Chains A and B, each alone.
Chain A
């Protein structure tokens, strides 16, 4: 603090490569896992949210700035593509469970995935949201790489969409837990599917904490919702 120019130089030197962002993200991830276990795994504060809050504070306070942080962290997020592919493996490994439940899945998916978008859109519309806000909220239950594409196609703001994705993912993890208890659902397959369908990658990460079977059904729910919504929403948008 006494020599701000020196700190600035040091910061500039450290941020020429991606390693500072990578180290911060890894550190926040590990700290979040520890804190999460420490606080008896609160569902309203999943590890992803703890890590994001820690990082947001560090990025803002250190003067690093989000742009510079994100440029470096892109070295990590590039792995999101192969990781999405990797979700196909538990999907295959649990295929016998999925086969047993394919009829309810096929019957539920189009209705549930449509309503996941329509409920929020209807409420926002009733509250007088602008077309930009509506278009940004539309892909709220879809995994980030697809949601960003949909938001772009229907004329939304990508950053607002990402904010909506975060809130939706956390809420879905929380609500699925409550509602499953309330509706007396103990089937990991149904719980996992609801987590993936409503809560995309955040819900899927939560489902893998429950069991590999819940995780596989979440991957299935997330993948199918992504495909379905990507095809259906832009079409619906162009008609309205």
Chain B
């Protein structure tokens, strides 16, 4: 029952996210909107219930299980785009390498500067 109560909260927030997406015509998924809403709600409440913490931990631990069926699909479209795979692979490998490098370097530099500056506040 404890897990179920937490799960119900998550499903309700997902539905609220979907409702917001549809009424406001936002191009963001209901799940992400629900995630933002749940975070803000918890910030306002100032605490998280054991039920919700338990249910979230359970679901997050099987996140990989839930994305697997979608990932399997990638193997069945290989033929469909046979002419493009070199381009796609090069773009993804180089592009991801560069963007990971940029993110880490930016965060490191900016965090270093902010933390040093923060000491003077």
Beta-carbon contacts under 8 Å, A78-112 to B = 79-93, 95, 101, 103-105, 107-108, 111-112
Say yes or no: is B4 at the interface (Cβ < 8 Å to chain A).
Answer: no
Number of A interface residues, CB 8 Å? Answer: 109
**Total residues of chain B contacting the partner, CB 8 A:** 77
Evaluate contact between B111 and A101: CB separation under 8 angstroms: yes
| Residues of B contacting A: mostly | helix
Cα(A46)–Cα(B64), bound, Å: 10
Choice from A76, A79, A112, A180 contacting B106 with Cβ under 8 Å: A112
Q: A84-B34, A115-B102, A198-B99 are in contact. Are A164 and B68 (CB under 8 A)?
A: no
Q: Is A135 part of the contact surface with B, judged by Cβ < 8 Å?
A: no
Question: Are A183 and B92 CB-contacts (below 8 A) given A112-B99, A153-B27?
Answer: no
Q: Which residue of A lies closest to B45 (CB)?
A: A92
Residues of A near any B CB (own CB < 8 A): 21, 25-26, 28-29, 32, 46-49, 51-53, 55-56, 59-60, 66, 69-70, 73-74, 76-77, 79-93, 95, 101, 103-105, 107-108, 111-112, 115-116, 119-124, 127-130, 133, 137, 140-141, 143-146, 149-150, 153, 157, 159-160, 162-168, 171-172, 175-176, 179-180, 183, 185, 187, 190-191, 193-194, 197-198, 201-202, 204-205, 208, 215, 219, 223, 226-227, 230-231, 234
Q: A150-B27, A164-B88 are in contact. List 12 more A-B contacts (CB 8 A).
A: A51-B71, A82-B11, A83-B10, A83-B66, A85-B13, A89-B56, A115-B99, A141-B99, A149-B28, A167-B74, A171-B92, A227-B32
